[in-house]
Every structure is written in structure tokens, then in C-alpha cells.
Amino acid sequence: MADGRRAVELSARDLHVSRGGVEVLRGVDLTLRGGERVALTGPSGSGKTVLLTVLAGFAVPERGAVLLDGRPLVDHGRGLRPRLGVVFQGYGLVALLTAAENVELPLLAAGLPTAQARGRAREALDAVGLGERSEHLVEELSGGQQQRAAVARALALRPDVLLADEPTAEQDVAHRAGTLDAILATARTGTAVVLATHDPDVAARCDSRVHLEAGLLRPA
Ligand SMILES: Nc1ncnc2c1ncn2[C@@H]1O[C@H](COP(=O)(O)OP(=O)(O)OP(=O)(O)O)[C@@H](O)[C@H]1O
């Protein structure tokens, strides 16, 4: 591993998840290793977001389990959060903080010294082309800029696993390429990346593709 991190393995076993009385996931299996970049495709409403939410530990499956390095997510306790970077639709940014403060927040929560958190935030914001806007409040940013701030927040964590839900959907062509480059580059330091996307060009840039349909995941 380039920065000394050990290889990670995230595995989902026989996931069954219902939403609104419908079984959205009907026995999903997935194994993801450090350095792998996997595109998650599937029709709108097929359950990509639901799957990412379960992989992130934000929702619990009715059946099956998600294991990080062989242990259930819940067993990792507070140590789990800095290991998982997430970019979800809606972004979850704090509107009255600046972009930089939003990126620094989880780093400080993970115990990083302030100067180091600032440095990492700056680097991540630069990587997604948001350096010049870093001192702006989130509420002053456009939708696309907010999405890039959310990507920067996940990148700055240097997570073992990066789960991203259509992370370039709001971007123009130039920013789409740059943001995608920044996300995919994390695999070089051992991060495992899952990228839900409707964009065939984005899917093509990943190492492998899985397709979710009718509750089941298959290679694409
Ligand atoms: N909280 C909820 N209550 C009821 N139904 C839900 C809930 N969350 C998701 N669903 C349903 O679960 C299914 C899967 O939704 P999900 O958002 O995971 O799809 P998706 O593949 O990410 O779609 P898209 O590509 O449009 O983002 C949909 O039918 C959706 O209506």
C-alpha cells in the first residue's frame, strides 16, 4: 500500500432489504477489495442507493450481513466511520459552514490535528477544482459545487472504502472528468471504490461493473 495502509475487504453476503413493503434487495452478494474500482449500474429504482446505504452501515439488512475485514460493520464501533467515505445524493453538507469547514469536520471528529485537517481539506478541494471556493459558505455554492464539496469531504478522509452515489451527475463535462479522476485515483493508495452511475462513460472507467436488477446483482 503506497501510504502504509493495509488492504481492506468489504463483503456483502445474501443481503435482503425491503423498502415501502417491497423487497428491493433479494440476496445480494458482493466482495470488494482494496484498490478495486467497481461501477454499480441498474435501472432507476433498482436499489443502488439502498445497497450503498447498507454497505455504508447506515441501514441494517433484514437478512444477510456486511463485513469489513471479516467483521460485521457494527463490531467496528466508532472506528468504522473514518474508514468509510460516502458521497450520497443530497450531499449532507452543513449549509452555514464553509466548504473547507465541511471537509475538515469529519477529519477533526476522527481526531486529526487542526493543521493537518486544514491541509488535507485544501488538497481535496483543489483536487475537485473547488480550491478557490473553499472559504464560501455551502449555501453560496451551486448544486454542482456542493456535490464536489461532498466528494472532497470523502476524499480527505482517505477512506479504506469509498461509496459514491452518482457523484458526478451534477457536473459539466470538464468538472466531471476532474472529479472522476480524483475519485478513481484513490484506488492507487488502496481505497476500494464503488460508484453508482447511469453514465456508461463513468462505468467504463472502472475496473469492473456489476448490474443491479430485480433485486439481484450480476456482473455486467
Ligand atoms: N424510504 C423509502 N420508503 C419507501 N420506498 C423506498 C424508500 N427508499 C427507497 N425506496 C424504494 O426502493 C427502491 C430502490 O430505490 P433506490 O433509491 O435505491 O433506487 P436507485 O437504483 O438508487 O434509483 P436511481 O437510479 O433513480 O437513483 C425504489 O423503488 C424506491 O422507491
Mutate to test the pocket of ligand 1, among 18, 40, 49 (most ligand atoms within 8 A of CB): 49
Protein residue with least CA distance to atom 7, ligand 1: 19
Protein residue with least CA distance to atom 28, ligand 1: 45
pLDDT in tens, 159-217: 999 999 999 999 999 899 999 999 999 999 999 999 999 999 999 999 999 999 999 99
pLDDT in tens, 47-96: 999 999 999 999 999 999 999 999 999 999 988 988 999 999 999 999 99
State the pLDDT at residue 1: 46
Distance 182 CA to ligand 1 centre (A): 27
ipTM field: 0.98
State the pLDDT at residue 131: 97
State the pLDDT at residue 199: 95
Mutate to test the pocket of ligand 1, among 25, 44, 50 (most ligand atoms within 8 A of CB): 50
Q: What is the full DSSP assignment across the chain?
A: -TTSPPP-EEEEEEEEEEETTEEEEEEEEEEEETT-EEEEE--TTSSHHHHHHHHTTSS--SEEEEEETTEEGGGGGGGGGGGEEEE-TT----TTSBHHHHHHHHHHHTT--HHHHHHHHHHHHHHTT-GGGTTSBGGGS-HHHHHHHHHHHHHHT--SEEEEESTTTT--HHHHHHHHHHHHHGGGGT-EEEEE-S-HHHHHTSSEEEEEETTEEEE-
Average pLDDT over residues 123-136: 97
Give the global pTM: 0.95
Q: Is the pLDDT of residue 6 over 70?
A: no
Q: Is the pLDDT of residue 3 over 60?
A: no
Ligand 1: nearest atom to the Cα of 52: 18
pLDDT in tens, 31-50: 999 999 999 999 999 999 99
Distance 137 CA to ligand 1 centre (A): 30
Q: In this predicted model, which residue has the larger pLDDT, 78 or 132?
A: 132
Protein residue with least CA distance to atom 8, ligand 1: 19
